[in-house]
Amino acid sequence: LKNVELLCLKVLNSDLRGKAVSLIEALEWCINNNVNIVNCSLGTTSKSDFSALEAVFNKIKNQKIIIVAAKSNKNIYTYPACNNNVIGVKSNYIYKDGNIKLKWYPFDDVEVETSGVHTLVLKDNGSFKTINANSFSTPVVTARIADIIDKYGQMTVIEILKHLEGEAVTVMGKYLFPESPYPWGQNKKIVEKECYEQIIEKYI
């Protein structure tokens, strides 16, 4: 795409660790500077951070900013990837060369899977191969969404997911709800693992 500007906001220290407040400040910056898409190849699994991040996600939803975020490689509940207003991504080596799998109403709240393995050509003509990690899957989905927005304009998370459904090689479930892709707790996420049985019963 010709009309794309890439920006990198530093939220982690040299040890690749950071605090939720740094992520919040970065997202607020995106809101104030009319950023269309945020590729977030990081997140938090600490419950104490979830409520602090919730307010900024509501602002982002109102402004139709799309966040694409990686789930923790430990495969546990992660913010922002598991937020209703965010497109969550995790790695699946089966879906190579930019192919994706889309899930409607996933119980782990992560809608898209694609490979994290990529061979990058370096300036010295060497190459670097990434590991099959969620953080390396996320940019694939971000690039696809940038292409969709370039063609059709800025849109909501649900509208983006419907476009991704048309491009996915595998789709699980069907689109049913116009507002939220989750039929449970539309205003408040249920994050406790012990609640999953209750969620499944309600959904069924």
Measure the CA–CA gap between 94 and 130, rounded to whole angstroms. Answer: 15
pLDDT at 199: 57
**Alpha-carbon distance 64 to 31, whole Å?**
10
The tokens describing 159, both together, are 């509208």
- Helix 20-32 to helix 47-62 angle (10° resolution) is 0
The closest alpha carbon to 141, from 201, 192, 66, belongs to: 66
Express each pLDDT in 46-92 by its tens digit.
888 888 888 888 888 888 899 999 999 988 888 899 888 899 999 99
CB burial of residue 201 (10 Å; 0-12, 13-18, 19+) = exposed
Quote the pTM value: 0.84
pLDDT tens per residue across span 43-58: 888 888 888 888 888 8
What are the tokens at 47? 């419950």
